[in-house]
């Protein structure tokens, strides 16, 4: 998973872990909110990687309120 604040790559969260915590900068938020932050930031920068597309697709189906 990628940190929505410093964009450091962190270990993959287990399915039961609902909260994301960055070991690099200490940023903490729910995993879905963090994922949304990452997607929005990536979209603004105009470069979307395969992994980010996969995450946004997941969010669009689950949340329904994130428009990329």
Q: What is the DSSP string of the chain?
A: -B-TTT--B-PPPPTT--EEE-TTT--EEEHHHHHHHHHHHHHHHT---HHHHHHHHHHHHHTS----
Q: Does residue 29 belong to the site contacting Zn ion (CB under 5 A)?
A: no
Q: Does residue 28 belong to the site contacting Zn ion (CB under 5 A)?
A: no
Contacting residue, 1, 2, 3, 36, with Zn ion by CB under 5 A: 3
* Candidates 14-22, 28-36, 37-45, 59-67; binding stretch for Zn ion (CB under 5 A): 14-22
Contacting residue, 1, 2, 20, 22, with Zn ion by CB under 5 A: 22
């Amino acid at each position: 998973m990628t940190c929505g604040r410093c964009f450091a790559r962190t270990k993959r969260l287990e399915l039961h872990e609902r909260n994301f915590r960055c070991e690099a900068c200490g940023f903490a938020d729910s995993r879905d909110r963090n994922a949304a932050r990452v997607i929005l930031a990536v979209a603004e920068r105009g470069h979307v990687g395969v992994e980010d597309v996969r995450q946004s697709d997941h969010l669009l189906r689950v949340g329904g309120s994130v428009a990329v």
